[in-house]
Structure 1
């Protein structure tokens, strides 16, 4: 992976509807801006129960977008990352339909995980309650077979996403086939989606077990043998994320988005600075993705024991409430019990709205992201300083759709002319081109309210100095200084008449 800013996007939501249109965009208005692109699921079909994360056929490009030749053409222009949905597949997949029709006689019978497959002697109440799931309720769905019988299937996410047994020969062959197809198409990196849930074991949480790590090791080795780098996607307690990072090529720094918000809301970089001192360097840094803003990543561990989070519980609650205030309540309407496709550990909101649509605060947040060790990725909505799509949320009822807007070409070109977007792209170009970012990183706390981040490589130096109390920053490079300052639109959590009440929320 190049040490340059990457783009995360759906093929059909960023100024066009096809791979050819996306390629033209990256070769036109955005030429030279991104050092790679993570294509969110482009498999057949892209409009299932979970925006492509429930593929009917993971080895076929949705024909509405193009074909594998289109992926090859894009990969010849810019490095491409693709998802391998490890944990599950669509209830409409040919394999699952064959299983429903033929039961145990199907060649795919053992491919789909049942409750009995994990608990052959039945499960106790304690065993069922110990299962970790990012949704309310138990992860089981009743399926009716063609012969009239029923099976209790394991469905971690939704009833339309059927978990597979990654250790079964049919499951292993299925996943190997996906890797081989992606490699043939010129993809150079894969993201293992939902891999933390891929191994289930009776009497455990069924999440990030020692057996899960062993599976990741094996599967990553298969990927590397095909020339593919591997990114592991796991939302988890921060110490667990550090442990995961030691065993894989790349992990996301999911703690960074809420910690940047915390620093800007509370006017102090203390928790952010402490995280900088221990975070893994083999990180993909993000502020936004196709999912929500993670909360579990900086909170206390939910397992027994004294395992505090990166911020105290009261401040974490206040952070969530401040996101809701800055988004004028839109994020509240898209989060938790207010929306389907429920995530218990995320707040659904664009990052620009989480900062009250304050251009200066947004550019400060992006500058902090780009200065973190690792490789930055920017979500397509974030590239355009996008705002919450309440119409899409209302139409689908899916909380995360508030941050999954469909941009047509005219809307995209208008967004690119916004001063905040122009300045963001200038910042991306600086991050991509300045030689200091290939050198040594330094971080220094300045008093209670300021933070200095710097990169030094031989005679080259870039520095970002942020005063969180004043919400302003200075970026110094090559004798020039760029200043970013809050527009005054950001609602803070560090002062004002409602501060004490907010902390009690």
Structure 2
């Protein structure tokens, strides 16, 4: 199977109506020609935290969302993409619970990375830890084993609690590989077409390195899992937040990659009214990418934009977003901050709010995204031009919830009445239906306060013109009758 060159939707199982059955009804009733490229359902599995990203198992669907039958029903009309948190599993999983009870006697003991697998006496060495790209204060958690009362330190890359809810898997273990095979077979059985390998950059733990995207070992794992996925007719999308050269290596290796450079670059372009950096980037980027502007986390800054922006300019863009209600996720490890201390990992806000709820600016951003080569993904909050949900972030204590508002069916219907949403849906239909997007792409040299992008295929041609002074966007295209049509976005 091949990925469709059409727009995909990203949503949680419960964010458009409350559960999977309602999601399916909403998709068919309102968005059947909108997300014709597929639907990325963020983790619908039983989970103990991180809004699904601490999965207990992949063999079941969280009962409050529905069942695998509901996933298969969605799959009848839309290609379904799901996540596999290949780096970790929940503390509440049967595997780790058995380890907590029996320790090294557990049949699952080899699933996990006890620190003696890395350090001779099982005690972390400060010099090694300081080199690691940390996502929490330290990369391990301490647990007490029920049967013998002994303490075990195991590797935990992620997690806001201590001990963590997310326990790293030892992907060098044959038992873990068998487990991953079982998950993939189950995905295939229920019609999953694409699997996003979440946090795959962290799977290799090697002393003396950052323990992030460790080469060449990471490719050995990726090659193994790609062979597995190919055997089941499943496409893979590795999720790696890293400096662009790492992404490009993945692309050269034959993988789809995420364009994590585009979201910030488009934002910078519209805020500073300057297209030079964006146009230069669009001329040179790999084409086998999934494009996004927004997602369930935030707008990537570091390390994704390293070597592409300078700290002073980035601070100004970040400050504008903060003025518009954004919060920030920061880099923890000193070594990975800029020399002047700039440490912004992600900007947490809705993309519509980041653009000051300016309808023309928002439509210009989406037009640029849809004209950029790759598979466009639109996050559900962005699809409905949602604003920052500051209250939800306060209530939950999770800053990323600022861009995770759950829409009732009534709220969806109300959003569909808004002009900005109707304009966006029209633009998505054009991107899905116009055949030139399967042809050749070109960036036309233009003034710094303008953008000019063109697609051609045979007699079909469409050209996007964005005036950054006014944020107005115009598409000129040739219709089926051969006539020149001007479409004001």
Aligned to 2:10: 8
Aligned to 2:353: 353
Gaps of 5+ in 1: 301-308, 338-342, 485-505
Q: Conserved in 1, the CA contact under 8 Å of 2:283 and 2:442?
A: no
Aligned to 2:474: 474
Aligned to 1:127: 128
Aligned to 2:50: 50
Q: Distance in 2 between matches of 1:116 and 1:206?
A: 16
Helix, strand or coil for the counterpart of 1:31? coil
Residue range with higher mean Cα deviation, 166-175 or 1-10 = 166-175
Aligned to 1:293: 299
TM-score by length of 1: 0.89
Gaps of 5+ in 2: 332-342, 479-483
Q: Distance in 1 between matches of 2:119 and 2:444?
A: 52
Number of equivalent positions? 463
Q: How far did residue 297 of structure 1 move?
A: 4.9
Q: Distance in 1 between matches of 2:64 and 2:471?
A: 45
Q: How far did residue 124 of structure 1 move?
A: 3.4
Q: How far did residue 142 of structure 1 move?
A: 1.0
Q: Distance in 2 between matches of 1:68 and 1:220?
A: 24
Q: Distance in 2 between matches of 1:58 and 1:98?
A: 18
Matched, 1:237 2:247: no
Q: Distance in 1 between matches of 2:366 and 2:420?
A: 11
Q: Conserved in 2, the CA contact under 8 Å of 1:298 and 1:311?
A: no
Post-superposition Cα deviations, 1:258-298, rounded to whole Å, max 9, x if no partner, equal 00011111111111112112211000000001110000255
Aligned to 1:323: 321
Aligned to 1:304: none
Q: Distance in 2 between matches of 1:109 and 1:344?
A: 37
Aligned to 2:154: 153
Q: Conserved in 2, the CA contact under 8 Å of 1:331 and 1:347?
A: yes
Q: Conserved in 2, the CA contact under 8 Å of 1:254 and 1:297?
A: no
Aligned to 1:389: 389
Q: Conserved in 2, the CA contact under 8 Å of 1:111 and 1:171?
A: yes
Aligned to 1:306: none
Q: Distance in 1 between matches of 2:204 and 2:223?
A: 13
Q: Distance in 1 between matches of 2:293 and 2:458?
A: 30
Q: Conserved in 1, the CA contact under 8 Å of 2:87 and 2:199?
A: yes
Matched, 1:257 2:244: no
Q: How far did residue 136 of structure 1 move?
A: 4.4
Aligned to 2:440: 440
Q: Distance in 1 between matches of 2:254 and 2:294?
A: 22
Q: Conserved in 1, the CA contact under 8 Å of 2:11 and 2:380?
A: yes
1:96-495 matches, cutoff 5 A: 96-121=96-121, 122-133=123-134, 135-146=135-146, 147-158=148-159, 159-210=164-215, 211-300=217-306, 309-325=307-323, 327=324, 330-332=325-327, 335-336=329-330, 345-478=345-478, 479-484=484-489
Q: Distance in 2 between matches of 1:299 and 1:72?
A: 38
Aligned to 2:70: 70
Helix, strand or coil for the counterpart of 1:188? strand
Helix, strand or coil for the counterpart of 1:368? helix
Q: Distance in 1 between matches of 2:50 and 2:254?
A: 26
Matched, 1:40 2:45: no
- Return structure 1 stretches of 4+ with deviation > 6 angstroms: none
Q: How far did residue 60 of structure 1 move?
A: 0.7
Q: Conserved in 1, the CA contact under 8 Å of 2:363 and 2:473?
A: no
Q: How far did residue 364 of structure 1 move?
A: 0.2
Q: Distance in 2 between matches of 1:468 and 1:297?
A: 27
Q: Distance in 1 between matches of 2:220 and 2:329?
A: 34
Q: Distance in 1 between matches of 2:84 and 2:304?
A: 26
Alignment RMSD (CA, Å): 1.5
Q: Distance in 2 between matches of 1:455 and 1:366?
A: 16
Aligned to 1:22: 23
Q: Distance in 1 between matches of 2:210 and 2:413?
A: 47
Q: Conserved in 1, the CA contact under 8 Å of 2:241 and 2:303?
A: yes
Q: Conserved in 1, the CA contact under 8 Å of 2:292 and 2:378?
A: yes
Q: Distance in 1 between matches of 2:276 and 2:345?
A: 23
Helix, strand or coil for the counterpart of 1:257? helix
Q: Conserved in 2, the CA contact under 8 Å of 1:393 and 1:401?
A: yes
Q: Distance in 1 between matches of 2:485 and 2:115?
A: 62
Q: Conserved in 2, the CA contact under 8 Å of 1:86 and 1:194?
A: yes
Residue range with higher mean Cα deviation, 422-431 or 36-45 = 36-45
Q: Conserved in 1, the CA contact under 8 Å of 2:136 and 2:157?
A: no
Q: Distance in 1 between matches of 2:329 and 2:407?
A: 23
Q: Distance in 2 between matches of 1:136 and 1:149?
A: 24
Q: Conserved in 2, the CA contact under 8 Å of 1:58 and 1:178?
A: yes
Post-superposition Cα deviations, 1:385-444, rounded to whole Å, max 9, x if no partner, equal 001111211111111111111111001110011100000000000000001111100112
Q: Conserved in 1, the CA contact under 8 Å of 2:261 and 2:305?
A: no
Helix, strand or coil for the counterpart of 1:58? coil
Q: Distance in 2 between matches of 1:383 and 1:66?
A: 23
